[in-house]
Amino acid sequence: MSLYLDHLATLQRQAEAALERSGFDALVIASGIEKYAFLDDRPYLFQVNPHFKHWLPLTEHPHSWLAVRPGRKPRVVYYQPDDYWHVPPSAPSGEWVDAVELIIIREPEEAAQALADCVTPRAAILGEADAALPGLVPNNPEPLLNLLHWARGVKTPYELAQMRAAQRRAVPGHHAARAAFLRGDSEAAIHRAYLLATGHTDRDLPYTNIVGLNEHAAVLHYQYQDEAPPAESRSFLIDAGAQVNGYASDITRTWVAPGHDEFAALVGAMEREQLALVDEVREGVDYRDIHLSTHRRIARVLRQAGLVKMDEEAMVAEGVTQPFFPHGIGHLLGLQVHDVGGFMASETGGIADKPEGHRHLRLTRTLQAGMVVTIEPGLYFIPTLLRRLRESPQGAQVDWTAVQRLSRYGGIRIEDDVACRAAGAAPENLTRDAFAAQG
């Protein structure tokens, strides 16, 4: 059996079990609709329902539907309008076609009739409210969603293959971006080099690229791209991924121009700690412990670099590492860049709390084999956070002259996508493997 067909069989088993446990007899999933700007006829970029693309490698197909019933082939209602204003979806093709019962519709409203025999009072309908049609109104039952979201944290072999491919697609873009930085290009030009090398456009990136030169690297989600290059390009942070069949990669690298040895040494220290954190991705490990380990490692970097003259444990206990590393160590990755289910206490729901004082962590689950997580430690020089630290009692222990000197570089983030493997096995670093394969 192919990886995809095996994946489809796994989803069918999971869906049937979830339907039985939650008291439903059918699962109906909307792909979603195009949304339009207020008082305009211009649509936003379409974002497919991740539950839909979990089953089908279809990411640009609004107004389509999927129905899952126990013991039956999935039914796909495929919207293919006769449209001369836009390019309609191509004729259905690929391995999925023979694995489903396929119905093609020309108007969105036809989906209601095509699914009439699937929609009973005990049908679970997943989607946004605006996807509703007569008789097809999303109800998104929480008990069922909890079961599906929990299961989605563990990837099938098919999903892991798509995510490895997404890494391979992103790596040429990171090489091209680094080369553009070293040429002295602007942020906008670096971004265009990335798109060209990956074969992406802004429309189909898994998330908006972060491309920050110098001080801009201190803005965690820097959202702009200057067209003019700075007078001097000292440092460069790029957070950029790629997408294959609806699965994302999420990769960050920090580069330093030649001649900036002090900051380069700091990047090297962070690289070593990041690789050590990757090795902590093991089955049965509480991801919250990896986050807290990161703060201890950041404390070591700060002390060894002479930036903070405090004991490492005291730094963590007194919150001194937080201004330098204010976000979480990472998150689940898959059909969404920040994949669902990261805070679930169990398959039936509930919340696994974040460590006290660490409200930006996006994953609090115990790791299982097959999970893919990001490991992305950072060390930043963020003016507003450093100002608060300077005014605190611990501020006297900081070498503010060195901090001011290093603030010209913005900050450091290094991010790999890592698959957790079975007990005793080292993690699979999807990102480093892709870089190694491409030189």
| Domain end residue (candidates: 151, 175, 192) | 151
Q: Which residues pair with 255 in a beta bridge?
A: 236
pLDDT at residue 1 above 70? no
- Find the CATH number of the domain harbouring 135: 3.40.350.10
Give which of 188, 190, 163 is closest to 175, Cα–Cα.
190
Same domain? 314 vs 428: yes
Same domain, 133 and 196: no
Q: Which amino acid is at 241?
A: G
- CA dist 403 and 407 (Å) reads 6
Residue 308 pLDDT exceeds 70 = yes
Q: Tell me: do 345 and 388 sit in the same domain.
A: yes
Q: Which residue(s) pair with 332 in the sheet?
A: 373
Listed residues 88, 116, 151: the one ending a domain: 151
Q: How many domains does the chain have?
A: 2
Same domain, 146 and 173: no
pLDDT for residue 394 is more than 80:
yes
Residue 171: per-residue pLDDT: 98
Alpha carbon distance 125, 67 (integer Å): 9
Query: Are both 185 and 88 inside the same structural domain?
Result: no
Q: Give 233's pLDDT tier (boundaries 50, 70, 90).
A: very high
My answer on whether 352 and 329 are in the same domain is yes
Whether the predicted pLDDT of 439 surpasses 90: no
Domain limits at 23? 3-151
Tell me, what's the pLDDT at 79? 98
Could you give the CA distance from residue 342 to residue 361 in angstroms, rounded to a whole number?
10
Q: What is the CATH number of the domain that holds 385?
A: 3.90.230.10
Q: What percent of the chain clears pLDDT 70, i.e. is strictly above it? A: 100
Q: Are residues 278 and 373 in the same domain?
A: yes
65-77 residue pLDDT tens: 999 999 999 999 9
At position 297, the amino acid (one-letter code) is R
Q: Which residues contact 50 (CB under 8 A, 6 or more apart)?
A: 246, 335, 336, 340
pLDDT band at 423, cuts 50/70/90?
confident
Tokens of 172: 């040429």
Are 247 and 334 within one domain?
A: yes
Is residue 147 located within the same domain as residue 163? Answer: no
Percent of the chain predicted with pLDDT > 90: 99
Residues 252 and 325 in one domain: yes
State whether 143 and 287 are in the same domain. Answer: no
Encode pLDDT of 93-126 as tens digits.
999 999 999 999 999 999 999 999 999 999 999 9
- Last residue of some domain: 118, 151, 184? 151
- Judge contact between 140 and 125, C-beta under 8 A: yes
Lowest mean pLDDT, pick from 248-252, 334-338, 363-367, 420-424: 420-424
- In the numeric block, the tokens 């491919």 are attached to 165
- Are 143 and 182 members of one domain? no
pLDDT band at 188 (very low <50, low <70, confident <90, very high): very high
